[in-house]
Copies of this chain bind each other. A is one copy, B any other.
């Protein structure tokens, strides 16, 4: 399974208005607090991998999950292999990775509003200490990546955004860039 994801900086109020005009369905909103880990045996910045433990609070209830993201397989749309599973206890998961020698590298906090539009997930992200962004995302098989990416660009255009403004830097990367 591949995740095709296109992200641009945007004014979230303007995009929310446009989504309402288009009749897009708002499917939820969450607060996510993500801890990213450095590995003891390889440099994830070098290998282009990520290990994350995410806490997500929705309707007052917090769940946790852990995610491994592999290197890019398709650079244009930031497509990468992703493995994720829910965990019963986020703190214990943190502790297990720390005992194994992984070290917390950074924490990314964001408010996310999710919409469903034309088969895509459109996410409005307000990222603490980073800024406001819109992500257009879909999961697809490897053979359909190109078509999925073109569709994501079309959704951006309908939202009054320019696919040329796409940023391939992760929120983690942006946060670390801003860190002196």
Contacts and interface: CB of A to CB of B under 8 A. Distances in A.
Given A96-B66, A99-B68, A100-B39, A86 B88 contact: yes
Contact of A85 (B81, B87, B101): B87
A85 B91 CA distance: 9
Interface in A73-106: 81, 83-89, 92-93, 95-96, 99-101
B96 A83 contact: yes
A70 interface: yes
The size class of the interface chain A forms with chain B is: 20 to 34
Contacts of A93: 85
A88 B63 CA distance: 12
Given A85-B87, A85-B93, 15 more contacts: A42-B101, A51-B100, A66-B87, A66-B96, A67-B96, A68-B99, A68-B100, A81-B99, A83-B92, A83-B95, A83-B99, A85-B88, A85-B89, A85-B96, A86-B89
